[in-house]
Structure 1
Amino acid sequence: MSYTFETIGVIHSPYREKFGIPRQPSLVNAARITLELLPPYDHPDMVRGLDAFSHVWISFVFHQTADRGWQPLVRPPRLGGNAKVGVFASRATHRPNPLGLSLVRLLRVDTQPKVVLTLEGADLLDGTPVLDIKPYIPFVEARADARGGFVDGPPPQLSVGWDAAARAQLTAPGLPADFALLVEQVLAQDPRPAYQDDPERIYGVALHQWNVRFRVEKNHAQVIEIQPLTPN
């Protein structure tokens, strides 16, 4: 049996590629993301009363990886990239149905000139298709007795520093006012694959229209340069 779904909205996000997106929501609160509803779902009545809730569930499609197939076993980064668990015991993007679910803080609901939700702490790629929005209801969905399996507790974080030249580049025209905080929160989550630990390697993470180049040694990430992204 198969079903067909309509995209009700699209995500506008500072995350331009999968690398650098936090592996769970609410880890990078500096990431402000908007959800724009699309016709015919962009009527103000569709979101009437939603601003009474502090958080919402976003159902979405892993559109960038949907055509790459899936495997019954995956290697979660939280287990070091070595141990395998079943795909349904993980939040891997490669799934039989490429659906994601993210709990985010709802900051604002605008209905003019477009219906747009402003969200905080989302882990969503720019251009992500959204299938549904549901309000989060704490008394039934916050369970103090729940077990978190192999992800019971937040991941360790890296400290983050800046080369003098990189910090000076924060004054470049067009950079968002909170760009430095966004960079620090993203890099603190250590976006590298679990199997990579080369202190000489330079990585780049695309945020907004900028490429943030950095290296990691032991438990410290050092920002070395901020470059404008090259248009595709």
Structure 2
Amino acid sequence: MFTSQISAVAICRTPYKQKFGIPRQPGLVDVKGYVELVPSLNTVDAIRGIEQYSHLWLLFCFHENLAQGWKTTVRPPRLGGNEKLGVFATRSTFRPNGIGQSVVKLHGVVIRKGKVCLEISGMDLLDGTPIIDIKPYIPFSDAITDAKGGIAQDAPELIHVTFSDNANTQLLTLSENAKYARLQPLISAVLAQDPRPAYKKAKDDPKIYQVALYDLDILWQVIDNQVVVLALKPTSVVLLDE
């Protein structure tokens, strides 16, 4: 019987403020975030030597899914949400132990508000995600060039993203704040993944969707098989302290 108690070693800080819109795999969107060590580990000694690696494995907890439980079979988006696979044959977020893993790019060690942090990019993690372990990515053993990817052998197809005149005007105003310097390419990269449920993609879908990035709600719609960003407004999502 496994009895060891697992607790967070860090918290991930990302622009993704809600689950909807987060890339379904790491490395699909080039956006920066931080892995912030918890107070009991807030020392550079815990990460001494880590800058010799270009990438890291993050083991984390799907903390917002735990209360919803899990099932032995799931409907992967790759299969249009119509076919079932066993939970262990997928990367479903609804798992018996709620544990996930992602590989991220490491940019360096920084101190933010007195906290030791790893600056990273390419993560697919919700803001506030508990990190339960950090491990170096080792290319000669971790990269298997002839591996078979099953239903996920190829990267997802992207959908074209455009911005309405209203959205472009709002982006121009927001660009005066350094925080939003790369907001437009981030919105484009996130929405190009078409985060809608799989069953919505095979028919006309007039619904206006909302994705929360940073402290903004991005309103968008799919028109003629392309995403049109309609507007940006202050978020309605409760944000975690950064």
SS at match of 1:184: helix
Q: Does 1:109 align with 2:115?
A: no
**1:150-187 Cα shifts (integer Å, max 9, x gaps):** 00010000000000110110123655100001000000
How far is the alpha carbon of 1:108 from its aligned partner?
1.3
CA RMSD of aligned residues (A): 1.4
Which of the residues 177, 186, 191 maps onto 2:190?
Answer: 186
Relative distance call for 1:73 and 1:164 in structure 2 (3 A) is same
Quick one: which amino acid aligns to residue 177 of structure 1?
A: A
SS at match of 1:115: strand
Q: Counterparts of 2:98 and 2:66 in 1: how far apart (Å)?
A: 6
Quick one: which amino acid aligns to residue 137 of structure 1?
A: I
Identify the residue that residue 10 of structure 2 maps to in structure 1.
9
Question: Relative to total residues, which structure has the larger helix share, 1 or 2?
Answer: 2
Alignment of 1:117-132 (within 5 A): 117-132=118-133
Q: Counterparts of 2:26 and 2:237 in 1: how far apart (Å)?
A: 28
How far is the alpha carbon of 1:102 from its aligned partner?
0.3
Identify the residue that residue 167 of structure 2 maps to in structure 1.
166
Relative distance call for 1:210 and 1:52 in structure 2 (3 A) is same
How far is the alpha carbon of 1:111 from its aligned partner?
4.9
After TM superposition, the score normalised by the length of structure 2 is 0.92
Q: Counterparts of 1:132 and 1:218 in 2: how far apart (Å)?
A: 44
Does structure 1 retain, via aligned residues, the 8 Å contact 2:78–2:152?
yes
Q: Counterparts of 1:70 and 1:23 in 2: how far apart (Å)?
A: 18
How far is the alpha carbon of 1:218 from its aligned partner?
4.5
Identity of aligned residues (%): 45
Q: Which moved more, 1:172-181 or 1:10-19?
A: 172-181
How far is the alpha carbon of 1:32 from its aligned partner?
1.0
Does structure 2 retain, via aligned residues, the 8 Å contact 1:57–1:134?
yes
Quick one: which amino acid aligns to residue 194 of structure 2?
A: D
Identify the residue that residue 45 of structure 1 maps to in structure 2.
45
Quick one: which amino acid aligns to residue 4 of structure 2?
A: Y
Residue segments in structure 2 that go unaligned for 5+ positions in a row: none
Residue segments in structure 1 that go unaligned for 5+ positions in a row: none
Identify the residue that residue 234 of structure 2 maps to in structure 1.
228
Q: Counterparts of 1:191 and 1:125 in 2: how far apart (Å)?
A: 14
Q: How many residues align?
A: 231
